Amino acid sequence: MRIVLALLFLLHSPAALQKAADAKVIGTVLDPNGHPVEGSKVYAITDGSTPPGANQAVTTDDKGNFVLDAYPGRVLLFAYKESDYYHDIVFGFDTPSGYSGPKDFVDIRPGQTVNGVVVHLPPQSALLRLNVLDADTNAPIQPVKYEMCRQDHLGDVVYCNLGVAGVSDYQQMVPTVPISIKITAPDYMEWRYRDAKTGSPYLSLKATENRTLVVNLRPIKKKKKVPTKNKGEARCE
């Protein structure tokens, strides 16, 4: 699933199903300042006709150039480079503030090669690490469930990131907008982020910021069962 703009693109463009990716796109990936980017990933989705799993990415060369096989039709192009905080925008949650989605697309006929295509990287994101520990023993806890939601789209699950982390030290690219964070695990009390200084329930990170949050989950104390006397029990002398 792509972000909202991409979904509309895929749903409403005329699909011409093809058996082979016999078209090519040749172009360059640029950062938001217009500079070519080496080592970025590029892939394409053709108006609903791209088979699942077929949108394999290629990597740009030292001049930011790429050659990509594509399925004929209206081709929407995506680019990302996680090591430089240019995230692959998959869900609404990932969308950088003010970013309306990918706008780089070309119309390609079967067997055609299109040259000179420019693909733009999205604005940079931030990296968040969650280190989840037992508050009493300091032992790592896994798995844990996490829920991150954007303040600018409250109540809209499309702009939330929900999942299960199988490791105690989990990392996730996050947008540079305020987000709420909730962590849960079996036999532990729920944890919600709150700024220690301001009391705000939202975490705000800057582009390219790398932040680690240590999350201490408190175990749920189980009450011990106290044996009770049977009031109807007869007492023998």
DSSP labels, 160-200:
EEEEEESSSEEEEEE-SS-EEEEEE-TTB--EE---TTT--
User: How does DSSP assign 3-54, residue by residue?
Assistant: -HHHHHHHHHSPP---SS--EEEEEEEE-TTS-B-TT-EEEEEETTTSPTT-
Kindly report the backbone phi and psi dihedral angles of residue 5, in degrees, each rounded to the nearest multiple of 5, phi listed first: -60, -45
Distance CA 42, CA 29 (A): 8
Q: Any idea which residue has 């067997």 for tokens?
A: 111
At a CB cut-off of 8 Å and minimum separation 6, what does 121 contact? Answer: 29, 30, 31, 32, 37, 40, 79, 80, 81, 86
Q: Any idea which residue has 């695990």 for tokens?
A: 185
Q: Any idea which residue has 């999350």 for tokens?
A: 215
Domain 4-120 matches domain 126-217 at the CATH topology level: yes
| Ranges of each domain in the chain | 4-120, 126-217
Alpha helices in the chain (DSSP H): 4-12
Q: When comparing pLDDT for 231 and 136, which is higher?
A: 136
Give per-residue pLDDT as tens, 126-159.
999 999 999 999 999 999 999 999 999 999 999 9
Distance CA 54, CA 74 (A): 16
Q: Does domain 4-120 have CATH number 2.40.50.140?
A: no
Going by pLDDT thresholds of 50, 70 and 90, the confidence category of residue 231 is low
CA atoms within 13 A on the CB side of 119: 32
Give per-residue pLDDT as tens, 1-57.
444 444 444 434 444 344 467 889 999 999 999 999 999 999 988 875 656 555 678
Tell me the one-letter amino acid at 66: F
What is the CA 167 to chain-centroid distance, rounded?
A: 17
**What does the pLDDT average to over 210-226?**
88
Sheet containing 179-184: give its strands across: 160-165, 144-150, 179-184, 191-192
Q: Report the CATH superfamily, name and number, of domain 126-217.
A: Carboxypeptidase-like, regulatory domain (2.60.40.1120)
Q: Are 170 and 141 in contact (CB under 8 A)?
A: no
Give per-residue pLDDT as tens, 99-120.
877 778 899 999 999 999 999 9
